[in-house]
Structure 1
Amino acid sequence: MLKALFIFFCSAGFLAASAQSPRYPQGYFINPMAIPMELTANFGELRNNHWHMGLDIRTDARENLPVRAAAAGHIAFIGVRPLSFGRFIIIDHPNGLSTLYAHLNDFAPAIEQYVTQQQYEQESWAVELRFTPGQFPVRQGQLIAYSGNTGGSAGPHLHFEIIDTKSSKRLNPLLFGFPLQDRVAPVIRSLVMYDRSRSMSSQRPQQIPLRKTATGYEPVNGKLLRTPLHRLSFAIDAFDQVSGSPNPNGIYAASVSVNGAVISEFKIDSIDYDQTGYINAHIDYTRKQQGGTLYQHLSPLPGEASGIYKKFPGPGFVSLQDTAAHEVVIRVEDTYGNHSFIRFQLQTTAAPTAAPMQSSVKKETQQALYLTPDRPFFFKRSDVELAVPAGAVYDSVPLDYQVDAGPLLPPALTRRHRVNSMEWPLHSDMEVKLKLSQPLAASLHNKLVMQRSWGAVKKVKPAFYKQGWVTASFDDFGHFQVYVDTIAPDVRLAGKGDTIDLSGSRAIVFTPTDNFGVISMFRAELNGRWLRFTNDKARSWVYRFDERCPYGTHRLTVTVRDAVGNETMRHWYIKRGPYQPPVKKKRTTSKRKR
């Protein structure tokens, strides 16, 4: 399923240079940190709904370390946004490549001053700023920012990417010759086998325990693996390490060979942001959703289109046409050429059959009940309509539809409709239309939300009303229900009295709440002028005192809005004086009576 992404635009002069330069120039980029390069995550690691698109460079759990331009060029883009990259910079280089630096705390002083000016001019903390080559040129090694923990970061580090400027594809930075020593081969922890005569939505994969040998890995029960299957594929649980580091990283490439011929291979040397959602076709998504291991498929699914798999003659999976034993070799590699192997013999115990794949049978005989990768899917009932575009699923998926019975509980306006389960992914949005159970006043048509839920996971979107039907789009299966939302969000400032004394604080923090958990707008004004509150982690808004709030008494106004426009405005008088740390109360110990 494809989540929020971004594309930036660069100068035409750099686009022409891309075709003339080597794709992976060695030694062109330097370590963007002034400390030795150590990784906490590498390119292509498995994440929720995406591959990791760069390197996470360790900063020893510290923030505010200098970040340097990895090569000469000019700053082309600066972004400030909640979650995601937080504060980040993109530099275009004259060889047709760009570099990205993310989760930054502060930019270099001149850049920070310009960004702050733009935020106040736009009256928005979140900004997307583009630059011409002459505005902020940089030298290799020049200070551009300070490392941090902003955005979706879970701990201090620098996220670093190398980008093909023309295509916006992210390239594997480990192919550019950075000073990292790696003589450690990937570790393979487990192997599973799938029946490829069936859809992935109806699998019971077979676990194959492995043991380490002097030459690699092999099945615990012996090198001969016997199976009743004729069409089958494998997936692995594997990780890589860099010399001297215990941190488990993602693998770079893997392949399957049968009788010496490669039948399938993937290699993660570049990833397009438009294609990164296909990670959910690359992994055993069902097992992941059940809380299990992240297995990587060695053979592509029918609807997989990430570009990481190489095409070979044949179906891309193992097809056994006789009962002889066949030599199978699975090779797993890292970017430094270290590799590990699984070797075994594979033999089917049943005579070959010409029966078609089960997913194909279902598509032809029960098309109305199955979603398939190659065509759109439509479903209509008296009170529900679904529209799923072609390419939204990776294999044939049966429609599992149910509707709750029983009375409606306000503020619900429809019954709860179940569409499949969260164990099957969607690559693109599904349109859901639900019919209201009774007429609704026109004044409430713009106060409707549709909620998707699965267990404790809930997501709410504004919904569109037309002639008794309510429509919204979602990128996951689940339970769907329509509600009316007329309750405005709440926002409060801690403190007592007509004027709140904040002299003991270094910042003002607001954490608004809403009955459906969505705050679509936050605006603060000090004495009638917009005041910049950061919204780094997406839940709280923070203003750290600066020259825009001098000592004295001021009127602070905060306005918050939810998903459907319900709005709350609050006013406070605040007093600020020289910072006075809060007085710590002395602990008193009570004497026990004897």
Structure 2
Amino acid sequence: MKLSTTNIITCLFFLLNSVSFTTFSQDAKFPQNYFRAPVDFTMTLSGNFAELRNNHFHSGIDIRTFTTGKKVYSIADGFVSRIKIAAGGYGKAIYINHPNGYTSVYAHLDHFNPEIEKFIKAHQYKKNSFEFDLELKKDQIQIKKGNIIAYSGNTGSSAGPHLHFEIRDTKSEHPLNPLLFGFRIKDTTPPKIFNLYIYPLDSISSVNGHNTRQQFSVTYYNNAYHLKGDPKVRLLGQIGFALETNDYMDNTWGKCGIFELKMNINDSLQTNYKFKEFSFDKSRFINSHMDYALNITKKKRIHKTFKDPNNQLSIYSKMNNNGVYSFKSEKSYKIDFIISDAKNNISKLRVYAKGATSIKAFPQEKFTKLLNWETENIYENSGIQIKFPKNSFYTDLKFNYSVKKDSNFYSDIYSIQNENVPVHTYYTLSIKPRTIPNHKSEKLLIVRVNKDKSLSYEGGIYFDGSMKTKTRYFGDFTIAIDTVPPTIKARTNFALNSLKGQKSIRFSIDDELSGIKSYKGLIDEKWVLFEYDEKNKLLFYTFDKKRLISGRKHKLQLIVTDKIGNKSNFKEEFIW
């Protein structure tokens, strides 16, 4: 049968559209039956994907275990591609590459299965280091679906026993939302909305006659959310919005992150974003997505519906005019916010507003210098130099600077902007000391003076007459000195002389200013594996029959060094 030219073109048209649709569907849909659960009990969560955190989005889900020692299973066939052991962060973590292009991550673990544990310990003794980050080859440790790979714990920066679990795209290393892979987690609870924030974004815009951010409490009735007390909302000029909203799941009170947010104004979609994946390289842009000042001052993490010029997150599928809406005098507006979770439970807030009548220019705060976010910026004054690389800020910055005298430090206190303003990239800070005490320039350091007068270590080296460091924070900076070594306090009672029957030797270690840089434990002058639990300031050695002879007197030495180079040395003898 012969096909006419028209028929051929028609067939090609449908074929191309079919291919395009199939490719899109495959890209948009994650496999639903490929992975098993990483645990053997009903999963409930204390945290979920893209939940708002300080300086980053949460990159996985936190599975509640309540205690440590729960079995952790590989979700599919694969091989161990990476093992990372750290005193903070993920603690003890393992990464498994799967043949379908995904990588699973299991973190805050207590310990691993015997094969992996043996491999890890051999590497630690080879490198004489508890902490390491090792990439493995495909043929080193093969894993089958359902193999026990580890046991849940509370290591690293974990705030309580749980399993942090991730799925990543192996090629890009982007974390993906595990809730989109069909794991059985009961969730019939819609997100909750607590507050609406409205922002006038230039000097002639207003919210109810004010030129500053205004907060409106939200309440729930008649199956929807409403502004509490149904207040009149008068808007004029360039306006942005933000919502304080969290998701909640069945059988847990843990606050979780939302999945999708939409904003319609007069039935027209203005803003839409979903948390399906993100890039670790872009995660710090969360400080632009949120209201950073509100997080610092009130511990509130909120979702803005508008974005700054230098917000490079890829989550936004719709952002008309960067989410900023121009409200006209006397015109009526219907503003709808639709929030949903990954199980498509939905909450809605409708706000009625009207364009204000009075137009006026509000007085603006004074500032030292306007810094353009797209360019490098340098600021110099007596005793100080600041170099900001381009893209340090999310939008142009009205920069403020002042100096305070203080004889308690080795320089003046330099107030650089304030702590409520975010900085995205590291900038270089140079401060000249008034004097160098007893020629101990190697003991000087730059510190941030917090509101409670405590000091935060910001590093620094003395070079060419100044202390220089890099930081990503604003605040009050000065030069201090650290000549005090770390403290070492034994939790084990060595006065008994014999430690027979005990499982470990334990110490509390701390450094008040610069912090702990390194630690080394020796028994009979040989390196032994001391593990460091940073959050609890705990350093401990678990007795190992293969490396220690029982019934004999042993010599223990522990050396702890801070970031300035001050050392403490603990020595003791014991029988085990």
TM (normalized to structure 2)? 0.88
Residues 486-540 of structure 1, C-alpha deviations (whole Å, 9 max, x = no match): 3433434467889843336432122234352512111111111101100122522
CA deviation after TM superposition for structure 1 residue 285, in Å = 1.7
1:250/1:228 CA distance change after superposition, 3 Å: closer
- Whether the 8 Å CA contact 2:196–2:242 is kept in 1: the answer is yes
1:259 maps to which of 266, 269, 273: 266
Aligned partner of 1:300 in structure 2 is: 307
Residues 370-418 of structure 1, C-alpha deviations (whole Å, 9 max, x = no match): 3343233221012011112222222343333222225x23xx3212212
Separation in structure 1 between the aligned mates of residue 162 and residue 528 of structure 2, nearest angstrom: 29
Separation in structure 1 between the aligned mates of residue 450 and residue 105 of structure 2, nearest angstrom: 36
Aligned partner of 1:345 in structure 2 is: 352
Aligned partner of 2:445 in structure 1 is: 449
Separation in structure 1 between the aligned mates of residue 354 and residue 493 of structure 2, nearest angstrom: 78
Aligned partner of 2:43 in structure 1 is: 37
2:560 aligns to what SS in structure 1?
strand
Greater CA drift, 230-239 or 302-311: 302-311
- Whether the 8 Å CA contact 1:256–1:298 is kept in 2: the answer is yes
Residues 105-150 of structure 1, C-alpha deviations (whole Å, 9 max, x = no match): 1111000001000000000000112111111111111110011111
Query: How many correspondences in the alignment?
Result: 544
Aligned partner of 2:297 in structure 1 is: 290
Aligned partner of 1:413 in structure 2 is: 410
1:63 has 2:63 as partner: no
Aligned partner of 1:465 in structure 2 is: 462
1:430 maps to which of 415, 421, 427: 427
- Whether the 8 Å CA contact 2:263–2:270 is kept in 1: the answer is yes
1:523 has 2:520 as partner: yes
- Whether the 8 Å CA contact 1:99–1:160 is kept in 2: the answer is yes
Residues 236-294 of structure 1, C-alpha deviations (whole Å, 9 max, x = no match): 11122223444332111111111221111221111211111122212222122122532
1:207 has 2:215 as partner: yes
- Whether the 8 Å CA contact 1:265–1:299 is kept in 2: the answer is no
CA deviation after TM superposition for structure 1 residue 165, in Å = 0.8
Separation in structure 2 between the aligned mates of residue 159 and residue 203 of structure 1, nearest angstrom: 43
Aligned partner of 2:140 in structure 1 is: 135
Provide structure 1 residue ranges, at least 5 long, that are not aligned to the other structure.
Answer: 1-18, 577-594
2:224 maps to which of 216, 220, 232: 216
1:81 has 2:86 as partner: yes
Separation in structure 2 between the aligned mates of residue 529 and residue 219 of structure 1, nearest angstrom: 67
Provide structure 2 residue ranges, at least 5 long, that are not aligned to the other structure.
Answer: 1-24
Greater CA drift, 147-156 or 502-511: 502-511
1:189 aligns to what SS in structure 2?
strand
Amino acid in the other structure paired with 1:44 = A
Aligned partner of 1:541 in structure 2 is: 539
Separation in structure 2 between the aligned mates of residue 523 and residue 486 of structure 1, nearest angstrom: 20
- Whether the 8 Å CA contact 1:228–1:350 is kept in 2: the answer is no
Amino acid in the other structure paired with 1:414 = S
1:238 aligns to what SS in structure 2?
strand
1:516/1:36 CA distance change after superposition, 3 Å: same
1:170-209 matched pairs, under 5 angstroms: 170-197=175-202, 204-209=212-217
- Whether the 8 Å CA contact 2:532–2:538 is kept in 1: the answer is yes
Amino acid in the other structure paired with 1:562 = D
Aligned partner of 1:54 in structure 2 is: 60
Separation in structure 2 between the aligned mates of residue 241 and residue 169 of structure 1, nearest angstrom: 25
1:248/1:567 CA distance change after superposition, 3 Å: closer
- Whether the 8 Å CA contact 1:148–1:158 is kept in 2: the answer is yes
RMSD, aligned CA: 2.7
- Whether the 8 Å CA contact 2:190–2:347 is kept in 1: the answer is yes
Greater CA drift, 66-75 or 494-503: 494-503
1:532 has 2:532 as partner: no
Aligned partner of 1:395 in structure 2 is: 395
Greater CA drift, 497-506 or 369-378: 497-506
1:374 has 2:381 as partner: no
1:567 has 2:567 as partner: yes
- Whether the 8 Å CA contact 2:531–2:540 is kept in 1: the answer is yes
Aligned partner of 1:588 in structure 2 is: none
Separation in structure 2 between the aligned mates of residue 203 and residue 574 of structure 1, nearest angstrom: 70
Amino acid in the other structure paired with 1:208 = F
Separation in structure 1 between the aligned mates of residue 252 and residue 507 of structure 2, nearest angstrom: 40
Separation in structure 2 between the aligned mates of residue 327 and residue 20 of structure 1, nearest angstrom: 37
CA deviation after TM superposition for structure 1 residue 153, in Å = 0.9
1:21/1:258 CA distance change after superposition, 3 Å: closer
Residues 439-476 of structure 1, C-alpha deviations (whole Å, 9 max, x = no match): 666x5333221111212453214322222111011121
1:78 aligns to what SS in structure 2?
strand
Aligned partner of 2:122 in structure 1 is: 117
Separation in structure 2 between the aligned mates of residue 403 and residue 475 of structure 1, nearest angstrom: 20
- Whether the 8 Å CA contact 1:264–1:317 is kept in 2: the answer is no
1:162 maps to which of 135, 147, 167: 167
Aligned partner of 1:330 in structure 2 is: 337
- Whether the 8 Å CA contact 1:521–1:562 is kept in 2: the answer is yes
Separation in structure 2 between the aligned mates of residue 369 and residue 102 of structure 1, nearest angstrom: 45
Residues 67-123 of structure 1, C-alpha deviations (whole Å, 9 max, x = no match): 000111111001100111110110001111100001111111000001000000000
Separation in structure 2 between the aligned mates of residue 142 and residue 377 of structure 1, nearest angstrom: 54
Separation in structure 1 between the aligned mates of residue 570 and residue 238 of structure 2, nearest angstrom: 65
CA deviation after TM superposition for structure 1 residue 485, in Å = 3.0
2:534 aligns to what SS in structure 1?
coil
1:253/1:21 CA distance change after superposition, 3 Å: closer
TM (normalized to structure 1)? 0.85
Greater CA drift, 373-382 or 151-160: 373-382
- Whether the 8 Å CA contact 1:197–1:358 is kept in 2: the answer is no
